[in-house]
Amino acid sequence: MNFFRARRRQQLIFAACVIVPMLASYALFLVWPVGWAFSISLSDWNLFQNAGNFVGLRNYMRAFRDPIFRISLTNTFYYAILSVPLGLGLAILLGVLIQGAGRFRSLFRVLYFMPVLTSEIATGVLWRWLYQPEYGLFNSILSAINLPRLGWLYSPELAMPSVVAYATWKGIGFTVIIIMAGLDGIDETYYEAARVDGANLWNLFWHITLPLLRPTLTFVLVTGVIGSLQVFGPVYVMTQGPGGPLNRTRTMVLHQYQTAFLSFQWPYGTAIAFISFAIIMALTLAQLRLLRRRWEY
Partner 1 sequence: MSKRSALLPLSILILASMILAMAGCQPTAAPTSVPPTSAPVESEPETEAEPETEAQPETEPEEEAEPEEEAEPEAEAEPEGKFWSEPLELTSDYQGELVLWDWGFEARNNWVQKYIDEWQADHPGVTIRYEIMPESDVGSKLSTAVVAGTGPDFSVLNLEWRTEFQRNGLLEPLPAEFFPEEWRNLLYSTPYARTDDGNIYVTSVGAMGAVMYWDKSIFADAGLTEEDVPETWDELIDLAQELTVWNDDGTLDRAGFGINGMPVWMWFDLVAQKGGHFYDEEVDQALWTETASVEAAQLVKDLYMTYEVTSPDVPWWGELFCNGKAAMGYAYSWFPGWANSNCPDKVVDLGIAPLPTFDNAPAQGLQLEEDFIGVFSYVDPEKKALIWDFLHFLLLEDDERIIELALDFGVPPDRMDLADDPRIMENDLLRVGAEVAPYSVRPGPLPMFGDHHAFLTTAFEEMLLQDASPEQALSSAVDQANLDLEASGKTYISTEYQYTPPE
Instruction: Please give the residue ranges that form the binding site for partner 1 (CB under 8 A).
Output: 27, 31-32, 34-36, 38-40, 42-54, 62, 65-68, 132-135, 143, 149, 151, 154-156, 241, 243-247, 258, 261-265, 268, 285, 288-289, 292
Measured from the CB atom, the residue of 5 and 289 that comes closer to partner 1 is 289
Could you tell me if 224 and 191 are in contact, meaning their C-beta atoms sit under 8 angstroms apart?
A: no
Could you tell me if 121 and 237 are in contact, meaning their C-beta atoms sit under 8 angstroms apart?
A: yes
DSSP 8-state secondary structure symbol assigned to residue 51: B
Distance CA 226, CA 287 (A): 11
To the nearest whole angstrom, how small is the minimum distance from the Cβ of residue 263 to partner 1? 5
Question: Can you list the alpha helix ranges (DSSP code H) found in the chain?
Answer: 2-26, 32-41, 58-65, 67-99, 105-117, 120-130, 137-144, 159-184, 188-196, 201-204, 210-212, 214-229, 233-238, 252-257, 266-291
To the nearest whole angstrom, how small is the minimum distance from the Cβ of residue 70 to partner 1? 12
Q: Is the peptide bond before 133 cis (omega within 30 degrees of 0)?
A: no
Measured from the CB atom, the residue of 63 and 231 that comes closer to partner 1 is 63
To the nearest whole angstrom, how small is the minimum distance from the Cβ of residue 226 to partner 1? 16
Measured from the CB atom, the residue of 109 and 250 that comes closer to partner 1 is 250
Half-sphere CA count of 55, side-chain side, radius 13 A: 18
Distance CA 29, CA 26 (A): 5
Measured from the CB atom, the residue of 122 and 181 that comes closer to partner 1 is 122
Q: Is the peptide bond before 245 cis (omega within 30 degrees of 0)?
A: yes
To the nearest whole angstrom, how small is the minimum distance from the Cβ of residue 115 to partner 1? 25
Measured from the CB atom, the residue of 200 and 263 that comes closer to partner 1 is 263
To the nearest whole angstrom, how small is the minimum distance from the Cβ of residue 271 to partner 1? 11
Could you tell me if 287 and 221 are in contact, meaning their C-beta atoms sit under 8 angstroms apart?
A: yes
Measured from the CB atom, the residue of 142 and 177 that comes closer to partner 1 is 142
To the nearest whole angstrom, how small is the minimum distance from the Cβ of residue 142 to partner 1? 11
To the nearest whole angstrom, how small is the minimum distance from the Cβ of residue 148 to partner 1? 9
**Backbone conformation region of residue 264, classed left if phi is above 0, alpha if psi is from -120 to 50, else beta:** left
Distance CA 34, CA 38 (A): 6
Measured from the CB atom, the residue of 67 and 198 that comes closer to partner 1 is 67
